[in-house]
């Protein structure tokens, strides 16, 4: 992968928590790298949950302490703005002599392959980053070792009308930067799991190796664009 695309991935996995912002007014096809990363990190379809702790360390901090952080990045991969931003992220590498064309096409193909399944399912992705190598390695092993059977009682998507909707498919990280993928049904008994009339939709994941559960909520009103719920 080219340096610019790799840097973009590091950017879109390293922003601190910020209030959601609306997607850029200009078409995503002409968005800058900063605007594209904002959709992936600070839009209505992306949330972050960070835990910090202090540990002793020579030369770290005023009193020798060092701050360790662990951040979970949760995104609705099935939402068109997220998929479009990922495609734009891949395209931003074009024209640079260091571009790895094969990797760029692999990313674009992986995102485009989600378009049809996303019509019937809601796909949530989870990435993880930490400045503690042991913690990051442990979390990587956790996500890689999970299967549908092991996660189905650990992860839920919820609205007031449909609390604790179980996952129907799970895909470990594939090295494409998209993270672990949790797939939920769009409808239960012909009723939408998430509707424009709902106030929030929440994602919950019990991670045994983490200090706390991952629990993030998304205001539905912020996901409605031109009268259409984009999810």
Query: Residue 48 contacts by C-beta under 8 Å, 6 or more apart in sequence?
Result: 15, 16, 17, 41, 71, 72, 73, 74, 216
Nearest CA to 15 among 32, 34, 29? 34
| 143-163 confidence digits (pLDDT tens) | 999 999 999 999 999 999 999
Query: Residue 193 contacts by C-beta under 8 Å, 6 or more apart in sequence?
Result: 122, 157, 159, 162, 165, 184, 185, 186, 187
The 3-state DSSP class for residue 139 equals helix
Average predicted confidence (pLDDT) for the chain: 80
Nearest CA to 82 among 52, 129, 118? 118
The span from the CA of 160 to the CA of 164, in Å, is 9
Query: Residue 90 contacts by C-beta under 8 Å, 6 or more apart in sequence?
Result: 5, 104, 105, 107, 108, 111
Which domain, by its residues, includes 156? 3-229
Count the Cβ atoms, other than its own, within 10 Å of residue 136.
14
Give the chain's radius of gyration (CA, Å): 18
Weakest mean pLDDT among 9-13, 139-143, 211-215: 9-13
Q: CA angle, 104 as apex, 101 and 105 as ends, to 5°? A: 85
Say what the pTM is.
Answer: 0.79
pLDDT of residue 4: 41
Exposure string of 43-66, with b = 16+ CB inside 10 Å and e = fewer, is bbbbbbbeeeeeeeeeeeeeeeee
Given a cut of 50, whether residue 63 has pLDDT beyond it is no
pLDDT of residue 114: 64
- Indicate the number of domains in the chain: 1
């Amino acid at each position: 992968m080219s340096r610019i695309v790799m840097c973009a991935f590091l950017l879109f996995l390293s922003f601190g928590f910020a209030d959601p912002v609306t997607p850029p007014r200009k078409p995503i096809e002409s968005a800058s790298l900063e605007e594209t990363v904002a959709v992936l990190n600070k839009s209505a379809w992306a949330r972050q949950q960070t835990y910090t702790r202090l540990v002793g360390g020579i030369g770290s901090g005023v009193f020798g302490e060092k701050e360790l952080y662990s951040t979970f990045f949760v995104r609705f991969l099935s939402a068109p703005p997220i998929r479009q931003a990922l495609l734009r992220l891949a395209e931003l590498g074009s024209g640079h002599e260091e571009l790895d064309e094969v990797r760029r096409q692999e990313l674009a193909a992986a995102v485009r392959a989600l378009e049809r399944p996303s019509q019937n399912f809601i796909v949530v992705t989870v990435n993880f980053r930490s400045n503690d190598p042991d913690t990051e390695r442990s979390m990587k092993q956790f996500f890689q070792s999970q299967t549908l059977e092991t996660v189905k009682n650990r992860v839920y998507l919820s609205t007031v009308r449909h609390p604790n909707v179980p996952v129907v498919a799970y895909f470990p990280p594939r090295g494409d930067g998209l993270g672990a993928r949790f797939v939920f049904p769009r409808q239960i008994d012909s009723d939408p799991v998430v509707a424009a009339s709902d106030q929030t939709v929440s994602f919950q994941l019990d991670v045994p190796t983490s200090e706390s559960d991952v629990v993030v909520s998304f205001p539905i009103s912020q996901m409605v664009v031109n009268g259409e719920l984009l999810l």
